[in-house]
Amino acid sequence: MDKVGVYICSGYGIGEALDLEALKQVAETELKAEVVKIVGSVEAEDLELINQEVAAEGINRLVVAGPTFRFYPKNAFPASVMVDYVNLREQVAWAHEPNNEDTQALAADNLRMGVTRVRKMAPLEPVPECNSINKDILVVGGGPAGLTAAYYLAKASKKVILFERKLSVGGGMWGGGVMFNEIVVQAEGKRILDEFGIRSVPFEDDYFSADSVETVSTMCSQACKAGAKIFNLFSVEDVMLTEGRVTGLVINWSAVDIARLHVDPITIRAKAVIDATGHAAEVANVIQRKSGVRLDTPSGKIEGERPMWAEVGEKMIVENTREFFPGVFAAGMCCNAIYGAPRMGPVFGGMLMSGKKVAEMILARLMTKPE
C-alpha cells in the first residue's frame, strides 16, 4: 500500500514569502497525503529526522518542498523511497513577490504537481547483467556463409555478433544467378534451406532452386530470432593479437573508412572469429599484412583464389572450411581464396554448408575448452 509523505520547508526565506499552513492544508485536504509536516530546514539534522519518520510511518512516496534538488546530498533518502523535490525557494519564494496571491497559487500548483508525480512514479526495473563488448564469436561478413554460421551458433545459445561492411547483408545472393533472383543448391544445401524454412523446388539431378530474396530475408530473420546480433555498416580495421592468437577485432564505421577519417575504432573480444568476407578474405589479409605471422596454409600465406572450376570449387569450399590461424576460422568463398582453390560457380549450397560446418567446428572447440 502506497503512503505519501509531504515535508514543507520553512527556512531559506520560504516561510517569510508563503503561507505554509495553507500549503499544508492543500496537501492534507485536497491531495490526501497521509503525512504532512512543516520542517525548519533540510540540513543534515532535519534530514535525519525526516528519514526517521519515513521509516516509522512506512512512507514509500515522499515529497520534499524546499530548495532545489541540487541542495540535497547524494542518497539523502533511502533508495526504496520514491522522492520528488518541489522547488519552493529558487522558483517561487526568491523569484516572485512575497506574500502575494499569485505567488501563493504558484506554490500550491507546484506542490500539486509534485504529489501527482510521486504518486505516478514506478520503481526502476533492475538492469540485467550485460556484457555487450565481449562475445563468444564474431562473424565478419554477412553473406550466405556468415549468416548460416551466425544462425547455428546463436541457436546453440552462443553470443554472436555479425559485422557487415555494406548497408545490407546477404552478399551476392540477392541477385541469384546473373540477376534472375533464383539460386541453385545441391541436395546437401537444400537440407539447410529446409532448416531455415525456405521453400525450394527440384531443378535437375540432385539440384534445387529457391527464390533469392526469400532466401536472404529468411536467413537474416532466422539468425536474428536465434539471437545473433547483426551490425551493418561496420568494417574490420585490425585484429587483437595476444600471445600468437587472435582474441578479438578492431572495428569502425564503414563511412569512416570510406572517408578516411581519423576516428578511434572500437575493440571487441571474442573466443573465436569467423572470416566470411568472400573473395577478399579481409581478416586473413589484415593478419598477414600487419603481423607477419605464418598462416596454416602450404606457403604460410594467403594462396589466392584460382580461376573458376565450379564442380571442384563447391567441394573445396567445404573442405577448406577450417581454422587458418589460432582463433580465426574461414567460411564461405574466402576459404578458397585463403587455400588457393578454384572459384565456384552460381551454386550457393557450398557456402551454406561451409557456414554450418564452421559453426559445428567452433561449438566442438568451445565444448572442449574451459569458458
pLDDT in tens, 145-158: 999 999 999 999 99
Please state, in angstroms and rounded to a whole number, the distance separating the CA atoms of residues 214 and 220. 10
The whole-model pTM stands at 0.67
Please state, in angstroms and rounded to a whole number, the distance separating the CA atoms of residues 322 and 328. 9
pLDDT in tens, 298-353: 999 999 999 988 889 889 999 999 999 999 999 999 999 999 999 987 789 999 99
**All three cell numbers of 138:** 564474431
pLDDT in tens, 216-274: 999 999 999 999 999 999 999 999 999 999 999 999 999 998 999 999 999 999 999 99
- Can you tell me which residue has the cell 555479425? 162
pLDDT in tens, 264-273: 999 999 999 9
Percent above pLDDT 90 for the chain: 85
pLDDT in tens, 156-199: 999 999 999 999 999 989 988 778 889 999 999 999 999 999 99
Contacts 24+ apart (CB under 8 A), 197-205: 197/222
Model pLDDT, residue 131: 53
- Can you tell me which residue has the cell 500549503? 23
Q: Which residues pair with 182 in a beta bridge?
A: 211
Question: Is the CB of residue 285 less than 8 Å from the CB of residue 302?
Answer: yes
Model pLDDT, residue 128: 63
Listing DSSP states for 147-183 in one string gives: HHHHHHHHHTT--EEEEESSSSSSGGGGGTTTTSSEE
Q: How large is the angle between the packed helices 144-155 and 349-368, nearest 10 degrees?
A: 40
**What CATH number is given for 4-120 in this structure?**
3.40.50
**What CATH number is given for 135-368 in this structure?**
3.50.50.60
pLDDT above 60 (res 371): no
Q: Using 50, 70 and 90 to split pLDDT, how confident is the model at 367?
A: confident
pLDDT above 80 (res 133): no
Percent above pLDDT 70 for the chain: 97
pLDDT above 80 (res 127): no
Q: Which residues pair with 267 in a beta bridge?
A: 250
Say whether 135-368 and 4-120 share the same fold.
no
Question: Is the CB of residue 62 less than 8 Å from the CB of residue 118?
Answer: yes
Tell me the three state secondary structure of residue 91. helix
pLDDT above 60 (res 114): yes
**Which of 17-21, 109-113, 202-206, 317-321 has the lowest average pLDDT?**
202-206
Model pLDDT, residue 370: 52
Write phi, then psi, for 63 (nearest 5 degrees).
-115, 125
Q: Using 50, 70 and 90 to split pLDDT, how confident is the model at 140?
A: very high
3-state SS string for 56-83: HHCCCEEEEEECCHHHCCCCCCCCCCEE
Please state, in angstroms and rounded to a whole number, the distance separating the CA atoms of residues 240 and 221. 30
* Cα-to-chain-centroid distance, residue 361: 26
Model pLDDT, residue 328: 97
pLDDT above 70 (res 130): no
- Exposure of 233 by Cβ count < 10 A (0-12 exposed, 13-18 middle, 19+ buried)? middle
Domain boundaries, the chain: 4-120, 135-368
Model pLDDT, residue 353: 96
